[in-house]
């Protein structure tokens, strides 16, 4: 058996995948992967392939998420749950600086040593795209977030090519899936009881070599087998574009993104914002499950003496009144203005800021919205009535 190289494909069975996990743990990685917990498939620390959600499917729709056991389902036939890479690379709470006061003078000790490196198993194309998007925010905006950078540089990604889509998926519309990319260390395509494993990086090759050295039975894929593996996400994409379901499942969503930036920016006073606001609870769920939402606020956390202060960064949401609070008032006091901020940022102004959409089509915001508000439906409604003006005479048209 020759050593695996980037770009090569190998057959891996579940025992071999276990040896990949073991190799990552031996290298000091904290390995995280999908597991069934609390009625959902979430990302948790993973020691064994037996913990993976083999035989579980997630049925998702607007405001609805249900797990269903299906003996015919594979290990990765679920799609995405409420967690994404964001939960690990940009944690919901994090101390970003600490200060200590001695004799009336404050000092700022240097940042503590970084956490152990992280490996995430089962990452889909939409979430890899979201990672690339968050990279632009925290690494490419002119300032570098050192904590994010430290975690990002040592991140090991075992991606998965989707062979099933949920009714909430629309990655094909956003150009973010279902194939795994743009970059990963290893990528798995499931066939029966084994995985075609594509090596995506030197690091991926080294970990696979470790697994082989530890006894993993790995054979090279033939050209025909590689073609078949590449065909899996390609066929799913074709069905998604044709809006066909998979194995009698419901058809996925889709979104017409043609001219979407200008469409939304010229409809800032469209009556649909008030209409959606009559349903929106401003609960922030969509921003919390979104794999690209990056807003945060900073809290001062002091001990009882007041001499030791941590600055704690927490996820913030444009749906909260505090987000745009100035001089005791919120700039965006209405739910309509906050929903508009979220949707127009995600699908329009994000393009000005980062040269890419903020949406990857993962569908989480649709699933986890308690009232089932669907971004694809909202944008389609605005497109269908492009140029409609708010009936509120107190408003000016931009």
Partner 1 sequence: MTTATYLPSAPTDPWRAHPTRIVSTVDETPGVRTYELAFEEAGIRAGYTFAAGQFNMLYLPGIGEAAISVSSDPDHCGTIAHTVRAVGNVTDALARLAVGEQVLVRGPFGTPWPLDAVEGRDVVIVAGGLGLASQRAAIHRLSRRDDGGRTIVLHGAKRPEGLLYAADYDRWRAAGIDVRTVVDEGDAFWIGRVGLATHLLADLHLDPAATTILCCGPDPMMVGVAEAATNRGVSTEHVFLSLERNMACAVAHCGLCQFGPHFVCRDGPVLRYDRIAGLMKVPQL
Give the helix ranges, DSSP H, for 139-189.
Answer: 146-153, 171-174
Of these, 21, 155, 318, 379, which contacts partner 1 (CB under 8 A)? 318
Of these, 45, 115, 146, 386, which contacts partner 1 (CB under 8 A)? 146
DSSP state letter for 292:
S
Of 82-121, binders to partner 1 (CB under 8 A) are 96-97, 99, 101, 104-108, 111
Of these, 331, 370, 371, 385, which contacts partner 1 (CB under 8 A)? 331
CA distances from 231 to 1, 49, 126, 161, 178 (A): 26, 25, 18, 10, 11
| Contact present, 121 and 31 (Cβ < 8 Å) | yes
Q: Is 294 in the site for partner 1 (CB under 8 A)?
A: yes
The distance of closest approach from Cβ of residue 39 to partner 1 in the complex, given in angstroms and rounded to an integer, is 31
The distance of closest approach from Cβ of residue 322 to partner 1 in the complex, given in angstroms and rounded to an integer, is 8
From 11-19, 139-147, 151-159, 228-236, give the range in contact with partner 1 by CB under 8 A: 139-147
CA distances from 16 to 3, 43, 105, 207, 256 (A): 15, 21, 56, 11, 42
Nearest to 43 by CA among 53, 28, 57: 53
Q: Which is nearer to partner 1, 201 or 337 (CB)?
A: 337
The distance of closest approach from Cβ of residue 303 to partner 1 in the complex, given in angstroms and rounded to an integer, is 9
DSSP helix/strand/coil, 339:
helix
The distance of closest approach from Cβ of residue 19 to partner 1 in the complex, given in angstroms and rounded to an integer, is 39
The distance of closest approach from Cβ of residue 106 to partner 1 in the complex, given in angstroms and rounded to an integer, is 5
Instruction: Give the burial string for 89-99 (b: 16+ CB within 10 Å, else e).
Output: bbeeebeeebe
CA distances from 309 to 90, 102, 108, 201, 219 (A): 21, 12, 10, 41, 55
By CB under 8 A, the count of residues binding partner 1 is 60
Q: Is 191 in the site for partner 1 (CB under 8 A)?
A: no
Q: Is 138 in the site for partner 1 (CB under 8 A)?
A: yes
Q: Is 275 in the site for partner 1 (CB under 8 A)?
A: no
Q: Which is nearer to partner 1, 52 or 130 (CB)?
A: 130
Of these, 332, 359, 373, 382, which contacts partner 1 (CB under 8 A)? 332
Rounded CA separation 260/264 (Å): 6
The distance of closest approach from Cβ of residue 131 to partner 1 in the complex, given in angstroms and rounded to an integer, is 16
258, HSE (Cβ side, Cα atoms, 13 Å): 4
| Contact present, 187 and 197 (Cβ < 8 Å) | yes
- 197 token code pair: 């494993």
Of these, 42, 214, 265, 277, which contacts partner 1 (CB under 8 A)? 265
The distance of closest approach from Cβ of residue 174 to partner 1 in the complex, given in angstroms and rounded to an integer, is 19
Rounded CA separation 106/314 (Å): 23
Place of tokens 């690990």: 88
Of 207-246, binders to partner 1 (CB under 8 A) are none
Of 335-354, binders to partner 1 (CB under 8 A) are 336-337, 340-341, 344-345, 348-349, 352-354
Rounded CA separation 267/273 (Å): 9
Maximum distance among all alpha carbons in the chain? Answer: 75
The distance of closest approach from Cβ of residue 37 to partner 1 in the complex, given in angstroms and rounded to an integer, is 30
The distance of closest approach from Cβ of residue 371 to partner 1 in the complex, given in angstroms and rounded to an integer, is 22
Q: Is 277 in the site for partner 1 (CB under 8 A)?
A: no
Contact residues toward partner 1 (CB under 8 A) are: 96-97, 99, 101, 104-108, 111, 137-138, 141-146, 265, 268-269, 294-298, 300, 302, 306, 309, 311, 313, 316, 318, 323-328, 331-334, 336-337, 340-341, 344-345, 348-349, 352-355, 394-396, 398
């Amino acid at each position: 058996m020759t050593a695996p190289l980037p770009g090569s494909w190998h057959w891996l069975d579940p025992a071999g995948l276990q040896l990949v996990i073991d190799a990552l743990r031996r290298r000091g990685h904290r390995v995280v992967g999908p597991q069934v917990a609390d009625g959902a498939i979430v990302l948790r620390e993973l020691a064994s392939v037996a913990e993976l959600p083999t035989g579980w499917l997630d049925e998702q729709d607007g405001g609805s998420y249900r797990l269903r056991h299906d003996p015919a389902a594979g290990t990765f036939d679920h799609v995405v749950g409420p967690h994404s890479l964001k939960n690990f690379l940009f944690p919901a709470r994090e101390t970003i600086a600490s200060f200590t006061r001695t004799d009336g003078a404050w000092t700022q000790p240097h940042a503590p040593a970084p956490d152990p490196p992280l490996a995430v198993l089962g990452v889909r194309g939409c979430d890899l795209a979201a990672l690339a998007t968050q990279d632009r925010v925290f690494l490419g905006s002119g300032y570098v977030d050192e904590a994010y950078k430290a975690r990002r540089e040592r991140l090991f990604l075992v991606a998965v090519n989707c062979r099933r889509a949920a009714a909430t998926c629309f990655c094909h519309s956003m150009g973010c899936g279902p194939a795994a990319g743009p970059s990963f260390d290893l990528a798995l395509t499931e066939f029966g009881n084994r995985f075609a494993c594509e090596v995506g990086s030197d690091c991926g090759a080294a970990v696979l070599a470790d697994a082989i050295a530890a006894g993993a039975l790995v054979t090279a894929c033939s050209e025909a087998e590689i073609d078949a593996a590449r065909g899996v996400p390609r066929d799913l994409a074709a069905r998604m574009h044709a809006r066909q379901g998979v194995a009698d499942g419901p058809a996925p969503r889709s979104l017409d993104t043609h001219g979407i930036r200008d469409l939304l920016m010229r409809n800032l006073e469209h009556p649909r914002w008030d209409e959606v606001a009559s349903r929106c609870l401003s609960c922030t769920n969509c921003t919390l499950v979104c794999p690209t939402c990056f807003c945060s606020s900073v809290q001062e956390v002091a001990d009882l003496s007041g001499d030791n202060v941590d600055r704690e960064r927490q996820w913030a949401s444009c749906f909260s009144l505090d987000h745009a609070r100035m001089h005791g008032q919120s700039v965006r006091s209405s739910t309509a203005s906050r929903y508009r901020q979220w949707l127009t940022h995600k699908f329009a102004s994000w393009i000005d800021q980062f040269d890419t959409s903020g949406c990857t089509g993962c569908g989480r915001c649709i699933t986890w919205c308690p009232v089932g508000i669907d971004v694809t439906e909202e944008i389609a409604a605005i497109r269908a009535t492009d140029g409609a003006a708010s009936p509120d005479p107190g408003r000016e048209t931009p």
